[in-house]
A and B are shown apart, each in its own frame.
Chain A
Amino acid sequence: MTILLTGATLPDGSRSDLVIADGVIAEIGTGLRAESAQRIDADGLQALPGLVDLHTHLREPGFEQSETVLTGSRAAAAGGYTAVHAMANTSPVQDTAGVVEQVASLGEQHGYVTVRPVGAVTVGLAGERLSEIGAMAQSRAGVRVFSDDGHCVHDALLMRRALEYVTGFDGVVAQHAQEPRLTEGAQMNEGEVSSELGLAGWPAVAEEAIIARDVLLAEAAGARLHICHLSTAGSAELVRWAKARGVRVTAEVTPHHLLLTEELARSYDARYKVNPPLRRDEDVQALREALADGTIDAVATDHAPHPPESKECSWQEASFGMVGLESALSIVQQTMVDTGLLGWADVARVMSRTPAEIGRVPGYAEPFTVGNPAHLTLYDPSVRRTFGTGDLRGMSANSPYLGRELPGRVIATLHGGVATVLEGALRDPDEVARG
């Protein structure tokens, strides 16, 4: 299929037409023509490289009542994504070559996005023995990101070994930084609000102590370390310090930690219960600054679907997590672009190029150049909409943004030249699967 995009605004601000053929960008220029091409009028739309999420929970295999590879892929495409990293906390856990290959091939079969499975660092996420990191790296899934996300690799020796071991496979350990003893029973950020609400506190130091330890371990091992969903001002400070020392550390922040604060817990509405917890406004501001100055490398959604019964209960009984793929770009626009902290070229960097680089996903290094895979999204930053369940395209509705007015909307998404979203609507699975 040949597609002609006309009048798109590229991340660098220039205006251009693009011809997409055979899955790659065939031509870039003005006044382009293409015989029998499908035309997409991109006038006034912001073109971005296909977004790459470092942190997605697709839930399949094992938790298909919350999400599947197909439904999560659709949610991703609707949000402008063309690649996602599927976290390892499935059942069975993604700790063997067999499971990661299965997940990757489901993604390939559906075709909405490239599904890059994350391998578990330890067998069953139990934090006791290293999983088959080598086998997963060398499998058809080509795993490069290893994480026990949901659990912290809290044993210092195991963390050291994991960091050392992944260097042999160009891998990275993505740490869920949560000191388990300091967060036993923890429900929300520890501080004034938790003290009033009587919800067990989750101190910032529980995150920061692990990051401080791990950047030193990574330095000693000469290994790549990635910090998942960094959530406190102190964590940003530690990463800044480590980078200045030359430690090979990268970090991600979620859209919700760029916008929402612990004040929302006052409602006891479990949609706002998330791990790590929503923090103070000071933290939100510090995270925005850290993303703007490059201390934080990437925005990652931590899309965590849950069925209604996991949220329609008391706060303490509810599951941690929120869905985020469909809203991520809007939240980044609101918190970073509309505030003047980032331009669209920076958004392309933190939501596409850098996460792809961290995850070693090919095809994202030089977007919008001829011959490169046509992974891109067209976004209309000028609209405002009230975000509703109709905007959620996965299986679960645990979004903290329902009823909020958000800027922007994804109009079209192309994954390897295949349109997954057109005119703001997802295309049917069989059309996308045919390519």
Chain B
Amino acid sequence: MSAGLTHLLSVRDLDRETAIGILDIAEDMADVATRAVPKLPTLRGRTVANLFFEDSTRTRLSFEAAAKRLSADVITFSAKGSSVSKGESLKDTAQTIAAMGVDAVVIRHSASGAARVLADSNWIDAAVVNAGDGTHEHPTQGLLDVFTMRRRLHGAGSRGRDLDGVRVTIVGDILHSRVARSNVWLLRTLGAHVHLVAPRTLMPSGVDAWPVTTSSDLDAAIADAPDVLMMLRIQSERMHAAFFPHEREYTRQWGLSDARFARLGADTMVMHPGPMNRGLEISAMAADSDASVILDQVTSGVSIRMAVLYLVLSGGDE
């Protein structure tokens, strides 16, 4: 069994062996879900605090489900309507939660690096799991994405395997996407080739130094028949900041339309981290097709988060 984790802040802290270890434990966790009583006593008596400074119902529910399936107690803090909206700081919130006695903190924050700041501070000594920090990273999303890919490609023979040579194309707002960042680093660690497609305005200025290839031509990327096509959510506020002219232009150039979907290879899997803007970055036909693993991603999310909570709370002592 893999060594424990102190925190999970960035997928860049994971080497290949550790990453595969997490994925393999997630396979075990996925097996639990198929049992009559899909629950383990592993984290009984441990308390997990979900600190959601930024709204995210899906991620919060996924972490809650994961913690509960491991029999942990869960307390949830949502910024909306809480003292954070009255100006309470990350420090005060963290110290308050720590004073209640928690073993792990799952933090979602709109500021990049917030999870790192919390982990490096002396405000709290619990394990910290990054559930999305600004435009930096979303490590459990990256893990659940590669987990989903590995399962689709290797099925029951997934354990112990990496993604060597798998070709993944990620399309959309790379600049503001923590999902893209976590995927890029983790996919490279696992041996996959990553190609990013976006208008130049939504590509990070330093992307040349990333271990990826880039272009702004989705049709050419599709013609290259990637193994995975991951469409990112486009946020409507972007068009007001002159990143692109308007929705229709975006859809025309970078949306996975029915026509583009029809040109995809038979084995290409379609992914999306959700929530989707149907008709904008992805057509309903593509989203609901057999090629789509979008709901598998959601299911994988719970398994991955169980694995991560298990590893940060067990300290690898079992």
Measuring CB to CB, which residues of chain A are less than 8 angstroms from any residue of chain B?
Answer: 187, 190-201, 203, 267-270, 309, 312-317
Question: B135: CB under 8 A from chain A?
Answer: yes
Of the residues A187, A196, A317, contact of B206 by C-beta under 8 Å: A196
Of the residues A187, A192, A201, A314, contact of B209 by C-beta under 8 Å: A192
B247 to chain A, nearest CB (A): 22
Of the residues B116, B117, B206, contact of A191 by C-beta under 8 Å: B206
Q: Cβ of A197 and Cβ of B109 under 8 Å apart?
A: no
Contact size class for B? 20 to 34
B312 to chain A, nearest CB (A): 20
Query: Bound state CA distance, A317 and B89, in angstroms?
Result: 9
B170 to chain A, nearest CB (A): 14
Q: Cβ of A198 and Cβ of B181 under 8 Å apart?
A: yes
B117 to chain A, nearest CB (A): 5
Question: B248: CB under 8 A from chain A?
Answer: no
* B114 neighbours in A (Cβ, 8 Å): 314
Measuring CB to CB, which residues of chain B are less than 8 angstroms from any residue of chain A?
Answer: 89-91, 109-114, 116-117, 120-121, 133-137, 178, 181, 204-210
* B89 neighbours in A (Cβ, 8 Å): 309, 312-313, 317
Tell whether A198 pairs with B90 under 8 Å between CB atoms, given A192-B209, A267-B120, A268-B113: no
Query: Bound state CA distance, A315 and B120, in angstroms?
Result: 13
Q: Cβ of B204 and Cβ of A314 under 8 Å apart?
A: no
Q: Cβ of B90 and Cβ of A194 under 8 Å apart?
A: no
Q: Cβ of B91 and Cβ of A312 under 8 Å apart?
A: yes
* B208 neighbours in A (Cβ, 8 Å): 192
Tell whether A316 pairs with B134 under 8 Å between CB atoms, given A198-B178, A201-B205: yes
Q: Cβ of A197 and Cβ of B204 under 8 Å apart?
A: no
Q: Cβ of A317 and Cβ of B111 under 8 Å apart?
A: yes
Q: Cβ of B205 and Cβ of A316 under 8 Å apart?
A: no
Of the residues B120, B137, B204, contact of A195 by C-beta under 8 Å: B204
Q: Cβ of A198 and Cβ of B206 under 8 Å apart?
A: no
**Most chain-A CB neighbours within 10 Å: which of B90, B91, B117, B137?**
B117
Beta-carbon nearest neighbor of A185 in chain B: B241
The 25 listed contacts between A and B (C-beta, < 8 Å) are A190-B205, A192-B208, A193-B206, A194-B204, A194-B205, A194-B206, A197-B112, A197-B113, A197-B136, A198-B112, A198-B113, A198-B178, A199-B112, A267-B120, A268-B112, A268-B113, A270-B117, A309-B89, A313-B89, A314-B113, A314-B117, A315-B111, A315-B112, A316-B111, A317-B89
**Most chain-A CB neighbours within 10 Å: which of B89, B110, B137, B204?**
B204
* B205 neighbours in A (Cβ, 8 Å): 190-191, 194-195, 201, 203
Q: Cβ of A313 and Cβ of B206 under 8 Å apart?
A: no
A377 to chain B, nearest CB (A): 37
Q: Cβ of A195 and Cβ of B207 under 8 Å apart?
A: yes
A182 to chain B, nearest CB (A): 12
**Most chain-B CB neighbours within 10 Å: which of A190, A193, A269, A313?**
A313
Q: Cβ of A313 and Cβ of B134 under 8 Å apart?
A: no
Query: Bound state CA distance, A187 and B133, in angstroms?
Result: 15
